[in-house]
């Protein structure tokens, strides 16, 4: 008789336990839990609740959002990675899924191999903004200022691993100059200090900056996407401002535990694609300054390819900065 190790026995046992749920092709037959690894009310939570509501209609079962915040989004990810791979526990996470494997050197779960990809959801643009009174009126002048002043300028972020932190790493790499980084406990306090003129620069999602830009509370230098935004048509892209290669957005994707059967992943993806094509979701996303990804990018395969490329993109930047979250 062929010997089977402990992990093999556990895997066979898990498959045997999960099999009845899918043998009759009835998935889903009960409530699905969508974990959001951040607090309620934030951008990822908002995206998750819109998608969960629409997916519920398509699946014929309720998709409940559960907020499992803490440790930079790793606690919620761990919960999902270690859940039973039966399709009833899924995860909505953002760009952090690309940076966690490098930012955290000691994790209780496999940050890349512990998940099946279901599909990309959306990408939220970011804007590079500065305090009023900064002696630069446009992107060209800002690049010259940063190169001249270097670490005498303060760059605010919402903490290590936050989108604003990552955007700053990419910005400094593109400019070839380091600034003094000032980490905060969230976007709110960082934005407050930028409005007060205590710090010089910040990069954040359009959902958090658009109103302040339009109100004149802060100065906008560029949008970090290849194209200009309908919500801020006069704001040039970084490339148009003379800084090619400075492109970053906060993308969201849907995951299931590793080993979730392919037919279940396919059914969840079908519901996700239907949600992305839901007019109500499109309208609500537009109000947030974003849009659903094209259907071609919402496949499990396209999602995984994009995720792996993004991990490779951020790894050298994080390692060069030498700032880790553990």
Q: Give the residue among 38, 47, 179 at the shortest CA–CA distance from 96.
A: 38
Residues 119/299, Cβ–Cβ less than 8 Å: yes
Which parts of 136-290 fold into alpha helices (H)?
A: 139-149, 163-175, 187-196, 206-215, 262-276, 279-287
Residues 114/81, Cβ–Cβ less than 8 Å: yes
Average pLDDT over residues 296-313: 97
Measured between alpha carbons, how far is residue 105 from residues 124, 307, 326 in Å?
Answer: 27, 19, 7
Distance CA(326)–CA(317), nearest Å, equals: 17
Please measure the distance between the N-terminal and C-terminal CA atoms of the chain and give it in whole angstroms.
45
What pLDDT shows up at residue 102? 96
Measured between alpha carbons, how far is residue 292 from residues 51, 120, 277, 310 in Å?
Answer: 10, 9, 8, 19
At 25, is the pLDDT very low, low, confident or very high (cuts 50, 70, 90)? low
Burial 201-214 (b: 16+ CB within 10 A, else e): bbbbbbbbbbebbe
User: Is a pLDDT exceeding 90 seen at residue 42?
Assistant: no
Q: Which residues have C-beta within 8 Å of that of residue 201, sequence separation ≥ 6? A: 128, 129, 130, 131, 134, 153, 154, 155, 156, 179, 194
Average pLDDT over residues 294-316: 96
Q: What percent of the chain has pLDDT over 70?
A: 92
Q: Per-residue pLDDT tens for 264-292?
A: 999 999 999 999 999 999 998 887 778 99
Triad 224, 227, 229: Cα angle to 5°:
80
Distance CA(45)–CA(67), nearest Å, equals: 8
Q: Per-residue pLDDT tens for 50-72?
A: 999 999 999 999 999 999 988 88
What pLDDT shows up at residue 71? 87
């Amino acid at each position: 008789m062929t010997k089977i190790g402990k992990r093999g026995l556990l895997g066979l046992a898990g498959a045997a336990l999960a099999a009845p749920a899918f043998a009759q092709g009835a998935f889903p037959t009960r409530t699905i839990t969508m974990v959001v690894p951040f607090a309620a009310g934030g951008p990822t939570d908002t995206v998750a609740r819109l998608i969960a509501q629409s997916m519920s209609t398509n699946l014929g079962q309720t998709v409940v959002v559960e907020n499992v915040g803490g440790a930079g989004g790793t606690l919620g990810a761990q919960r999902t990675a270690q859940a039973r791979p039966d399709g009833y526990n899924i995860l909505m996470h953002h760009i952090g899924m690309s940076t966690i494997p490098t930012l955290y050197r000691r994790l209780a779960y496999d940050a890349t191999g512990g998940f099946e990809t279901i599909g990309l959801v959306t990408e939220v643009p970011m804007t590079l903004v500065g305090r009023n009174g900064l002696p630069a009126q446009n992107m060209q002048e800002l690049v010259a200022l940063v190169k001249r002043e270097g670490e005498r300028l303060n760059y605010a972020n919402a903490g290590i691993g936050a989108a604003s932190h990552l955007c700053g790493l990419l910005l400094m790499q593109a400019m070839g100059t380091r600034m003094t980084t000032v980490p905060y406990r969230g976007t709110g306090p960082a934005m407050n200090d930028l409005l007060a003129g205590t710090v010089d620069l910040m990069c954040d999602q359009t959902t958090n900056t658009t109103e302040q830009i339009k109100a004149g509370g802060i100065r906008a230098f560029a949008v970090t996407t290849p194209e200009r935004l309908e919500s801020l048509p006069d704001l040039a892209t970084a490339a148009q401002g003379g800084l090619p290669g400075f492109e970053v957005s906060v993308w969201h994707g849907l995951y299931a535990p590793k080993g979730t059967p392919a037919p279940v992943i396919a059914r969840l993806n079908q519901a996700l694609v239907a949600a992305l094509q839901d007019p109500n979701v499109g309208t609500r996303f537009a109000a947030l300054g974003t849009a659903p990804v094209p259907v071609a990018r919402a496949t499990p395969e396209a999602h995984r390819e994009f995720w792996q490329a993004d991990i490779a993109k951020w790894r050298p930047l994080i390692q060069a900065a030498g700032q880790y979250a553990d």
